[in-house]
């Protein structure tokens, strides 16, 4: 049986950026999985609060564009091996140069960009096609939807499965239904009770 390729998508990971328990899990779980033979890699935003000592050691892998509604936004991808784990950092200073990762008026746009950016970044991770993308909390919650909507023919992603873990149910990530078309490039068929509709939002 071949080793499982797993991409762990998260908004924070210790020691680079930690707000709560998610940061601890995003380091400890991939490390534990590697010990049992899983080829686990982590991807997170290149936040402005990441200590300089880590930023200076990152390697730039390349740049690409990420669809956000009608726009194509710049993204850069950086890599750093730390504690035996490959960490990848998605860069866009407009979205991520802030010192606090959450609680902004445009959180919906920030994490719409991140979710789509994770999927685009896979093309730039050398010799890697994820069998599983492990999504964590609402910040990565649209990755499974976008994967199915836009990447089912992509050779690197067409067989990829997803796992979604909720670490804190208190934080929901609920936004206006306008986010579907304006930011996520999804049509109105996704706005239904059995899909993304939640009261009057998504």
- How many separate domains does the chain show? 1
> Is 144 part of a structural domain of the chain?
yes
Contact 142, 17 (CB under 8 A): no
**pLDDT tens-place string over residues 67-92:** 999 999 999 999 999 999 999 999 99
Which residue, among 173, 174, 150, has the nearest Cα to 66 in the 3D structure?
150
> Is 25 part of a structural domain of the chain?
yes
- Would you state the pLDDT for residue 103? 85
> Is 201 part of a structural domain of the chain?
no
**pLDDT tens-place string over residues 130-170:** 999 999 999 999 999 999 999 999 999 999 999 999 998 88
Residue-number span of the structural domain to which 131 is assigned: 5-190
Q: Is the pLDDT of residue 2 over 80?
A: no
> Is 100 part of a structural domain of the chain?
yes
Question: Domain with 147 in it: what CATH number?
Answer: 3.40.50.2000
> Is 133 part of a structural domain of the chain?
yes
Which residue, among 87, 91, 152, 162, has the nearest Cα to 125 in the 3D structure?
87
Q: Is the pLDDT of residue 185 over 60?
A: yes
Helix 107-121 with 143-150: angle, nearest 10 deg: 50
In angstroms, rounded to a whole number, what is the distance separating the alpha carbons of residues 197 and 74? 29
> Is 177 part of a structural domain of the chain?
yes
Mean pLDDT computed over 51-61: 97
């Amino acid at each position: 049986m071949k080793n499982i390729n797993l991409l762990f998508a998260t908004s924070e990971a210790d020691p680079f950026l930690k707000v709560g328990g998610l940061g601890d899990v995003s380091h400890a779980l991939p490390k534990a999985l590697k010990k049992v033979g899983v080829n686990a890699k982590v991807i997170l935003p290149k936040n402005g609060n990441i200590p300089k000592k880590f930023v200076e050691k990152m390697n730039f892998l390349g740049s690409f564009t990420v669809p956000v509604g009608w726009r194509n936004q710049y993204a850069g991808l950086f890599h750093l091996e730390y504690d035996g784990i490959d960490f990848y950092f998605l860069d866009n200073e407009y979205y991520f140069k802030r010192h606090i990762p959450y609680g902004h008026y445009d959180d919906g746009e920030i994490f719409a960009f991140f979710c789509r950016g994770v999927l685009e970044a896979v093309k730039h991770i050398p010799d890697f096609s994820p069998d599983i993308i492990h999504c964590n909390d609402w910040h990565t919650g649209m990755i499974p939807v976008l994967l199915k909507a836009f990447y089912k023919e992509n050779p690197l992603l067409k067989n990829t499965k997803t796992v979604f873990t909720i670490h804190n149910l208190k934080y929901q990530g609920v936004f206006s239904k306008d986010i579907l078309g304006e930011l996520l490039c999804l049509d109105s068929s996704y706005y239904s009770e059995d899909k993304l509709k939640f009261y009057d939002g998504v």
